[in-house]
Structure 1
């Protein structure tokens, strides 16, 4: 989305300069930081629409930054840049509350595509929000999913979700008792095609949603596993036979 403000936090000066030029050419307003020391002040004074955050930085690393921001209730969308070859950094980033990730080295066009996708999810879940009025809602247990407002509440208190978590929950809740594969959720909620269908990010988003929804003990209630297939949303939380 043109004119959106992007904050790039990365200790690689050449990469920062490259992204300032390239993202600027795509219509974005770009600001940068070499590390997280001034991040809190930057968020307060000139809040970005999205943050591109490197995992490996001196001082406070990207994973710690995301964990701290989410613990404070700060839900600015975050795309993590991961340099390592293992999946662990990417999975940990999502578990901490990142919206998406991109492994280094990357094509700047791919970053633009990820930015556009995350901003679309953050502003309006694709194909879902456009169909809903302000008062449209799905109630289950003590929760209400306000589709028009793109908000989840628990006994009238807002539950903080990332844009990806909300999108996954909205798709599942809009298809109650219908088992859905990971591939279907990747495409319908996150807008990612079959080339990324084996991405473990869906499992991470489901895990985080379950921690938010299952406020008592006894295992997953509302988002249940369909073994060998995927997941299903059960509004009453009753065990499936």
Structure 2
């Protein structure tokens, strides 16, 4: 049974989330106080965190940052207000996997939770790793291993969240092919939804920052204006 933490100080929203998540068979722990939630999350591991931003005593952005430093893999779904565009951007930059804008439907929330848990479980190490097929990609000085889920640049391991690794590996597997934001949402997050393309933009920006080459360039991922993104071998691109 997956154990989900709901960090939400609005009693009506928390009650609604708790009811529907329990109906899906999830174990639920709820916190209304930000600092209480932060301390608990630093001491215990959970399968997914539903995290509001505006909280008493410690805001959700600070909790997200601390939690991501402790556990790069745990899925974090942030809950934001309609006018909280800046908060959504910052939350994604701090390592949140996705966000929902209030007010939201429980059907959509449940779909997001299921997609994040499914992706997280697929990324988790198996009990018998010798039976797991591993694919290694080496492109220029970048190395990706799907079995160990390790990404290295110039022999130095890059710290990636589970979603960042999935997105990078997917693009690298299909290098040269252009993907729209909605296609990447569907392939990596498990759904496509108009208005959430910014999730892709922010993850791409984070990857570019982490993939900066020794010459100061970060050109493994290119923007195809009006379409989306593609992965390229920068050495080959330089020669073309």
TM-score (norm 2): 0.84
> Are 1:188 and 2:187 counterparts?
yes
Residue 224 of structure 1: how far off its partner (Å): 1.6
Pick one of 217, 220, 223 that aligns with 1:219.
217
> Are 1:104 and 2:67 counterparts?
no
SS at match of 2:184: helix
String of CA shifts for 1:99-143, please: whole Å, max 9, x gaps: 010111222222111111111222226xxxxxx944311122443
Q: In the comparison of the two structures, how many residue pairs are matched? A: 232
Runs of 4+ in structure 1 deviating by more than 6 angstroms, as ranges, are none
Unaligned runs of 5+ in 1: 126-131
For residues 118 and 213 of structure 1, what CA distance do their matches in structure 2 show? 24
SS at match of 1:110: helix
> Are 1:117 and 2:115 counterparts?
yes
Report the CA distance shift for 1:179/1:106 in structure 2 as closer, same or farther (over 3 A). Answer: closer
Report the CA distance shift for 1:172/1:46 in structure 2 as closer, same or farther (over 3 A). Answer: same
> Are 1:135 and 2:138 counterparts?
no
> Are 1:159 and 2:154 counterparts?
no
> Are 1:50 and 2:44 counterparts?
no
Residue 153 of structure 1: how far off its partner (Å): 3.4
Unaligned runs of 5+ in 2: 124-130
Residue 154 of structure 1: how far off its partner (Å): 4.1
> Are 1:145 and 2:144 counterparts?
yes
Q: Higher mean Cα deviation, 28-37 or 175-184?
A: 175-184
String of CA shifts for 1:29-52, please: whole Å, max 9, x gaps: 000111232334423554110000
Name the Cα RMSD after superposition. 2.5
String of CA shifts for 1:52-77, please: whole Å, max 9, x gaps: 00011122211122123334454321
Report the CA distance shift for 1:197/1:109 in structure 2 as closer, same or farther (over 3 A). Answer: closer
> Are 1:23 and 2:14 counterparts?
no
Equivalent residue for 2:88? 90
TM-score (norm 1): 0.84
Residue 156 of structure 1: how far off its partner (Å): 6.0
Alignment check: 8 A CA contact 1:50 1:119 kept: yes
Alignment check: 8 A CA contact 1:186 1:197 kept: no
SS at match of 1:216: coil
Residue 237 of structure 1: how far off its partner (Å): 4.3
Alignment check: 8 A CA contact 1:178 1:232 kept: yes
Equivalent residue for 2:126? none
For residues 55 and 197 of structure 1, what CA distance do their matches in structure 2 show? 19
SS at match of 1:124: helix
Q: Higher mean Cα deviation, 138-147 or 66-75?
A: 66-75
For residues 231 and 175 of structure 1, what CA distance do their matches in structure 2 show? 11
Equivalent residue for 2:168? 169
